[in-house]
Amino acid sequence: MKLLDKSKLIKNHEITALDNLEMFCKNIEKNNGIYNAFLEINKNPALDCAADIDSRIKAGEKVGKLAGMVVGIKSNINVEDFHITAASKTLENYLGSYDATVVKRIKEEDGIIIGMTNMDEFAAGSSTETSYFGHTENPAAMGRIPGGSSGGSAVAVASEMCDLSIGSDTGGSIRNPASHCGVMGFKPTYGAVSRQGLLDLAMSFDQIGSFASEAAGIALMLETIMGFDYKECTTIDWDVPEFTKMIVSDEESSLKGMKLGLVKQFFEVSDDGIVDIIEESIDNMEENGVEVVELSFDYIDLCLPTYYLINYVEFFSATRKYDGRKYGHRIEEVCGDEVLRRIHTGSYISQKEFSGKYYKKALQARSLIRKEITKLLKNVDAIVGPTVPKLPHKIGTSLEPMEMYAYDILTVIANLAGIPAASVKAGEVNGIPVGLQFQAKPLDDDKIVQLMAGFEQINKI
């Protein structure tokens, strides 16, 4: 059933929110043991919430736009009375004491929060293997990583354990698992969604976004969570578009007249099988009225070093509060290798004697990358290409840090530039999903939703 149809049926009391929730709960009971998508499920408050929504619908009262939709939240976003662990031993006993702004908004729109999803420890990874609570399986390609860091949220949607889920994206943490699991994942423009309540990885890159199995779900969730928050200084004060209006059901393609840029370097770094599928998808879009132009981006080699230097330094700063005094464990004493590597490197390169050499240089490089990307986007509606240059590797494969980081090369650019980006499923290589990425100008989030909806339509996903 299409999500918007389901939403309508719930609001018309033809099916109940409770039915919807029970269906997912059964699925979670059956499958979460296999996939480990959720770290914590809190069924009773969810049942109360569903019953309340149903009774209000029955009484003819107005309900929110997410009425009855079941939502999973990544474990690094504060939800009152849930364990906000960031999948780390550091916070294994930490209970959220307040709702993040996005969570408040989801609750206000009558979304039903069912539980907290698995992730890479402190979101520092792209495989969800580094979780203190065990890895998450990829339902689309069993035995392979689901991607990360928001692997649990992607899998929760991919394995139909909830309607929608929320993740965070610092260098691809939403788009990467969306690509590997064959679902949709959207990273909004930096500042479009409040980070109040999101545990930090790298504050100047972090952005909360959503997963769904269809564009309508993305649109619904973006409408819910986006918008100015006076309690979060980096949010933008703007008129949030009505994303659901982009979801047209008639045959007229919403792709017609769109101009897409194809950056050749993004293809050069990607595996052949992936390139084939993305090129096929682009051909298909061209046949449906999209104009494609070739672009060139000369700074691709600069992106990963710039991204990681800033990430290390900001993460080092963000983790100073985990000093063992308030939350039980000192982070350095209990965390995994990747988190420790980032803290140590961040501490090292932010020393006074090096600050000019590394961190300030990285900030300059970021400005340059932002400028160049803005230039590329000037004459197109969006840039199109692969989301991840490689297929998800087998769980347990040991990788050098540089091999691991190479998975992020195509996703970090949107975070460096602060632009919106999303991944949709383009096809499969040997049954393993491959994602296609759209990237657009700041605050052109609606164009991406439009493209996702159009893409969905022509591919009959």
Partner 1 sequence: MKCGLEIHVQLETDSKLFCTCRTNYKEAKANSNICHVCLNQPGAKPYPPNKKALDGAIKIALMLGCVISPEVTYFQRKHYDYPDLSSGYQRTSIPIGDQGELNGVRIYDVHIEEDPGQYKPDLGIVDFNRSGIPLIEIVTEPDMKSPEEARKFLRELIRVLEYSGSARGEGTMRADVNISIEGGKRAEIKNINSIKGAYKALQFEMIRQKNLLKRGITIKQETRAFLESQMITVPMRLKEEAEDYRYIPDPDLPPMLAENDRIEKIREEMPEPSHIKTDRFVREYGINKDHAKVITSELELADAFEEVVKFIDPKFAALWMRDDLKRVVYYNKMSFKESEITPAQIVDLLKMLEDKKITAKAGKRIMEKLPKNKEMPSQIAEEMGLIGVVDENIVLKAVKQAVQENPDAVSDYYEGKKNAMNFLIGQVMRLTRGKADPGETHKLLESELKT
Q: Which helix (H) or strand (E) holds 259?
A: strand 259-263
DSSP 77: B
Closest CB 234 distance from partner 1, rounded Å: 6
Closest CB 104 distance from partner 1, rounded Å: 13
> Rule CB under 8 A: is residue 84 a binding residue for partner 1?
yes
Closest CB 341 distance from partner 1, rounded Å: 17
379 burial class (0-12, 13-18, 19+ CB within 10 angstroms)?
A: exposed
Closest CB 139 distance from partner 1, rounded Å: 29
Closest CB 232 distance from partner 1, rounded Å: 5
> Residue type at 358?
Y
Q: Which of 347, 370, 374, 432 binds partner 1 (CB under 8 A)?
A: 347
103, 225 Cβ separation under 8 angstroms: no
Longest Cα–Cα distance of the chain, Å, equals 67
> Rule CB under 8 A: is residue 153 a binding residue for partner 1?
no
Burial 306-321 (b: 16+ CB within 10 A, else e): bbbbbbbbbbbbbbee
Judged by beta carbon, residue 265 or residue 350, the one nearer partner 1 is: 350
Q: Which of 35, 38, 82, 94 binds partner 1 (CB under 8 A)?
A: 94
Query: Could you give the count of Cα atoms lying within 13 Å of 350 in the half-sphere of its Cβ?
Result: 18
Closest CB 157 distance from partner 1, rounded Å: 23
Q: Which helix (H) or strand (E) holds 101?
A: helix 101-108
335, 346 Cβ separation under 8 angstroms: no
> Rule CB under 8 A: is residue 197 a binding residue for partner 1?
yes
The string of DSSP codes covering 309-377 is HHHHHHHHHHGGG-BSSSSSSBHHHH--HHHHHHHHHHHHHTSGGGTTTTHHHHHHHHHHHHHHHHHHH
Q: Which of 10, 39, 106, 198 binds partner 1 (CB under 8 A)?
A: 198
Closest CB 390 distance from partner 1, rounded Å: 30
CA–centroid distance for 371 within its chain:
24
> Rule CB under 8 A: is residue 355 a binding residue for partner 1?
yes
From first CA to last CA, the distance across the chain in angstroms is: 12
List residues with catalytic annotation: 74, 149, 173
438, 451 Cβ separation under 8 angstroms: yes
| Piece in contact with partner 1 (CB under 8 A), picked from 36-44, 212-220, 346-354, 375-383 | 346-354
> Among 130, 128, 154, which Cα is nearest to 140's?
154
| Piece in contact with partner 1 (CB under 8 A), picked from 224-232, 334-342, 385-393, 419-427 | 224-232
Phi, psi of 58 (to 5 degrees): -60, -40
* C-alpha–C-alpha distance, residues 81 and 98, integer Å: 8
Judged by beta carbon, residue 347 or residue 374, the one nearer partner 1 is: 347
| Piece in contact with partner 1 (CB under 8 A), picked from 145-153, 202-210, 261-269, 365-373 | 202-210
Query: Which segments of 91-183 are extended strands (E)?
Result: 112-117, 164-169
> Rule CB under 8 A: is residue 200 a binding residue for partner 1?
yes
> Rule CB under 8 A: is residue 367 a binding residue for partner 1?
no
Judged by beta carbon, residue 124 or residue 199, the one nearer partner 1 is: 199
> Rule CB under 8 A: is residue 196 a binding residue for partner 1?
yes
In the region spanning residues 257 to 316, those forming contacts with partner 1, defined by CB under 8 A, are: 313-314, 316
Binding mask of the shown chain, residues 103 to 142, with x at each position contacting partner 1 by CB under 8 A: ----------------------------------------
Burial 47-57 (b: 16+ CB within 10 A, else e): bebbeebbebb
Q: Which of 234, 265, 288, 459 binds partner 1 (CB under 8 A)?
A: 234
> Rule CB under 8 A: is residue 321 a binding residue for partner 1?
yes
In the region spanning residues 4 to 43, those forming contacts with partner 1, defined by CB under 8 A, are: none
Record the tokens describing residue 184, joined without a space: 């949709």
Q: Which of 62, 325, 378, 460 binds partner 1 (CB under 8 A)?
A: 325
Q: Which of 1, 33, 60, 326 binds partner 1 (CB under 8 A)?
A: 326
Q: Which of 44, 97, 398, 430 binds partner 1 (CB under 8 A)?
A: 97
Judged by beta carbon, residue 39 or residue 86, the one nearer partner 1 is: 86
Q: Which of 67, 100, 222, 380 binds partner 1 (CB under 8 A)?
A: 100
> Among 255, 168, 257, 260, which Cα is nearest to 211's?
168
> Rule CB under 8 A: is residue 361 a binding residue for partner 1?
no
Judged by beta carbon, residue 49 or residue 91, the one nearer partner 1 is: 91
DSSP 419: -
Residues that bind partner 1 (CB under 8 A): 76-78, 84, 86, 91, 94, 97-98, 100, 195-200, 202-204, 230-234, 313-314, 316-317, 319-321, 323, 325-327, 347, 350-352, 355, 359
